[in-house]
Structure 1
């Protein structure tokens, strides 16, 4: 029986035809996604669901999707899909991460031109027959300094286009190496330096805990007088209320926003202010981009439903069905090792060195490498997956090397990940026990045996009495239950580490209390996807 796919959003007819040509039974109902009740009634009939942004694949909907195997999102953003619920349901979530990069970058450049020359206001005035030539005095882009926050896929294209416009480009991106910045022809700077020097600032980062409100009231106050700010990335990156006040005072000369903290944006502090250009989230809205992502998602879903091949999956490794049976626990371990390294590393990464020992050395190392790199890069970009992670790493100039060797130690196999920065090298190793559960077995050369949990706390300290008691007492006083407690040390009186598996995230107050004891050199909360 042929697989059955529902297209519940507006994909192109060409994309729908791809399903038909591949022998897949497809129902094209482009307005169904807006009717959540009707969608819930019929979703149980389908093996695949192809969507854009109108359809909301919620946990409630997924409860009804008893036959669903794959959700394909034509585009990069998957905020409208409950990925945790999909994973629990066994539904693969795919996106098309590279289909609209150029379109979004071009929109940012267009918005920069529009705000530099006040084009929307001048157009409205001229349409009204006012001919207010002296009112709309603009500025040139040539020789101006563009500050790019986030120099990844889209930000990198913006840097390239800006250099073509003869702008001076400075970039802030914790994962951008000096070598890569030099190749891009941009100057890598810290955020405060960018804020002080830039004539234009454009944002190209995902919305994460680290980037939320990155242009806060405090940071906006550090900007150069007369700056113009462009946001075509994600809402919530800029304090819109604070920006509105600076626009009114004249400190900020203009702003151009395609995204807003609340969408659809019916009201916003930036609306109706002079020299503020607003568009309704049009970054990916070109004919070419919409067609490209629609065709890509149709091909990806067809390949999976017909052959089991997995491409651009956000919640499943890109491996064959046969490999997944054996490699599943090792892929999960690789992701955990990467996640630990990524969460522990704040400076630009120059290289990632991965060692495979014993039984794991004969597996699909390319897929395992992708899992490690994806784990590392998720700190900067939660939407990264096993397919896109190596591309993201390459764009940031990160060198990835792999070594495999015959069994050399106690374990039948293990993986060791070493992250190299200008300041240090940090390594962690892990294995998979016979019960199929990944474990950490070594950190910074110190042997341990640590179960991996969703919430963990990592500390380093001098090997002195009282560490266990202090950790237990402090966490207990703050209502944090310890599920597993692992200790290790280099030698007596030397460097020691503790890795605690806790039932809930350790609150900032508890971490502050630990810091006040002066017993710990490092106190780091960690989170892992153990679903």
Structure 2
């Protein structure tokens, strides 16, 4: 039974989802980093919000951890690189609080435009300062969006409904999508020069940190108003305060800060600044949605292998997971076969080419490629799985190419992997027998029909009389029982392949004896 730890406050309904699906769950919130490290080794999954910090130090002692689920969109509190290196899937819930956060940004824009917090405080203090609070309309104003993804696009839709003119800066925004949203695709310089309001909806990365720096803020249109409900660190808060004091920027509304909880800031003393304590996702609907979503996603992954909204792995829907499973098994076995045959003496592995034909060509091949790479590099590297195989391959300078062939094939499905070192090239192909059982059908261009077995012995030899007899006697003399025996050859008298499944691992001493037999070119023990 998988076991999950909930270390931040989640809806009781999320807890019930885990338990109803047969997953053991513990709720331990408010743990210190040391206390969390002391118990994390017991768990297969960790469900968090923003309070728990998933650091490299925590991951290093999380021996059984397979998935971290973040109830919310931001994963700033998760060391995704270390999680990937450890083979841990990191999931978030990008759609659970999109409407709530977008609505908060619109609310902040209204509050800023009409000075609502100050006017409310003044009125409650017994004053009636009607002439003091002169606001501005949103209608016909230019709104500049920095980031037009899930949340930004909702803000754009609401702003268009308010009759604002919307400019959007997002490197991933296509002209077609901009047209659908009714926005003008623009670069950052255009937004700085033209926008009356600027709102940020981008993740915090190295490229977006301080995207509104002192330099960029100084290039904004005089009288602009800044809204940030995305991530602290996107705006230089000290520079923003200085430019508000100077009168260049008319005001700002911030829900997020570079340091949280934000106990002090140069912005707090300014009257034309609206501040809220990271409330973007704080509605009853959003809190419930993200909690339920992360519980479902983690349960699906732990029970079926389905991957949804993963930051560091290709998605596999719950519907696709059962259908993909035999293909995943085939790809991992083919990769392991090719990887075990690629000996150090044959040079460094430089390139891997994976080809999909027949039914396999019409599947989601990203997870299949990940499974292939996991099998391939496992004999060479420790701690490899589908999550980190691609990263490890890149770090070791291995080029990976994927090709999908829409052409007839003699098999209903065919997957071929070709490995290239600086000394040789070798390919292995396989199919699914009866749609379920992985089978090898080709090695180095030679036809061989063989099911995968737990232990196998691969031998290449010259196709001449006497080999099979001597080989069989040698195994018998060493007490190695043959379960199945498969042969293939390129041409009569040429190169031949012998693939044998055995009941137990073949000791190295026996392999050495086999290699010494006449006509034998190579002998390798395999395990799956």
- The TM-score range, normalised by the shorter chain, is 0.5 to 0.7
How far the C-alpha of 1:26 sits from its partner, in A, is 1.3
Match of 2:105, SS state, is: helix
Please say if 1:16 is aligned against 2:5: no
Return 5+ residue gaps in structure 1 as ranges: 332-355, 373-385, 387-401, 415-430, 440-531
In structure 1, the partner of 2:304 is 307
Please say if 1:213 is aligned against 2:210: yes
- CA deviation vs aligned residue, 1:397-429 (integer Å, no higher than 9, x gap): xxxxx9733499xxx989xxxxxxxxxxxxxxx
Equivalent in 246, 250, 254 of residue 247 of structure 2: 250
Distance 1:88 1:172 in 2: 33
Distance 1:432 1:275 in 2: 64
Tell me if the contact between 1:357 and 1:407 (Cα under 8 Å) persists in the aligned partners: no
In structure 2, the partner of 1:5 is 4
Distance 1:279 1:329 in 2: 53
Tell me if the contact between 2:356 and 2:405 (Cα under 8 Å) persists in the aligned partners: no
In structure 2, the partner of 1:275 is 272
Where do residues 49-64 of structure 1 align in structure 2 (5 Å cutoff)? Answer: 49-64=46-61
Where do residues 501-516 of structure 1 align in structure 2 (5 Å cutoff)? Answer: none
Equivalent in 289, 294, 312 of residue 297 of structure 1: 294
Q: 1:253 to 1:272 in 2, by over 3 A?
A: same
Q: Give the TM-score of the pair, scaled to structure 1.
A: 0.63
- CA deviation vs aligned residue, 1:238-260 (integer Å, no higher than 9, x gap): 22222211101111111001112
- CA deviation vs aligned residue, 1:126-154 (integer Å, no higher than 9, x gap): 12112211111111111111111111111
Distance 2:187 2:127 in 1: 45
How far the C-alpha of 1:297 sits from its partner, in A, is 0.9
Please say if 1:231 is aligned against 2:192: no
Where do residues 69-88 of structure 1 align in structure 2 (5 Å cutoff)? Answer: 69-88=66-85
How far the C-alpha of 1:198 sits from its partner, in A, is 1.1
In structure 2, the partner of 1:96 is 93
How far the C-alpha of 1:10 sits from its partner, in A, is 0.3
Distance 2:29 2:70 in 1: 14
Distance 1:43 1:365 in 2: 40
Q: 1:370 to 1:23 in 2, by over 3 A?
A: closer
- CA deviation vs aligned residue, 1:365-385 (integer Å, no higher than 9, x gap): 55336999xxxxxxxxxxxxx
Distance 1:125 1:105 in 2: 28
In structure 1, the partner of 2:112 is 115
Where do residues 296-445 of structure 1 align in structure 2 (5 Å cutoff)? Answer: 296-319=293-316, 320=321, 321-327=325-331, 358-359=355-356, 362-363=359-360, 366-368=363-365, 404-406=405-407, 433=419
Return 5+ residue gaps in structure 2 as ranges: 336-352, 370-386, 388-402, 426-528
Tell me if the contact between 1:407 and 1:413 (Cα under 8 Å) persists in the aligned partners: no
How far the C-alpha of 1:432 sits from its partner, in A, is 5.3
How far the C-alpha of 1:204 sits from its partner, in A, is 1.0
Match of 2:100, SS state, is: helix
Q: 1:322 to 1:267 in 2, by over 3 A?
A: farther
How far the C-alpha of 1:91 sits from its partner, in A, is 2.2
Q: 1:328 to 1:220 in 2, by over 3 A?
A: farther
How far the C-alpha of 1:160 sits from its partner, in A, is 0.3
Tell me if the contact between 2:112 and 2:252 (Cα under 8 Å) persists in the aligned partners: yes
Where do residues 41-190 of structure 1 align in structure 2 (5 Å cutoff)? Answer: 41-190=38-187
How far the C-alpha of 1:210 sits from its partner, in A, is 2.5
Tell me if the contact between 1:358 and 1:405 (Cα under 8 Å) persists in the aligned partners: no
- CA deviation vs aligned residue, 1:298-331 (integer Å, no higher than 9, x gap): 1111112222222222223334454445557999
How far the C-alpha of 1:293 sits from its partner, in A, is 0.7
Distance 1:329 1:154 in 2: 41
Tell me if the contact between 2:213 and 2:235 (Cα under 8 Å) persists in the aligned partners: yes
Distance 1:261 1:273 in 2: 18
Distance 1:263 1:142 in 2: 34
Tell me if the contact between 2:357 and 2:404 (Cα under 8 Å) persists in the aligned partners: no
Tell me if the contact between 1:145 and 1:199 (Cα under 8 Å) persists in the aligned partners: yes
Equivalent in 239, 248, 256 of residue 259 of structure 1: 256
CA RMSD, 1 decimal: 3.0
- CA deviation vs aligned residue, 1:49-103 (integer Å, no higher than 9, x gap): 1111111122222232222222211111112222233233332222112111111
How far the C-alpha of 1:175 sits from its partner, in A, is 2.2
In structure 1, the partner of 2:445 is none
How far the C-alpha of 1:280 sits from its partner, in A, is 1.5
Tell me if the contact between 1:220 and 1:243 (Cα under 8 Å) persists in the aligned partners: yes
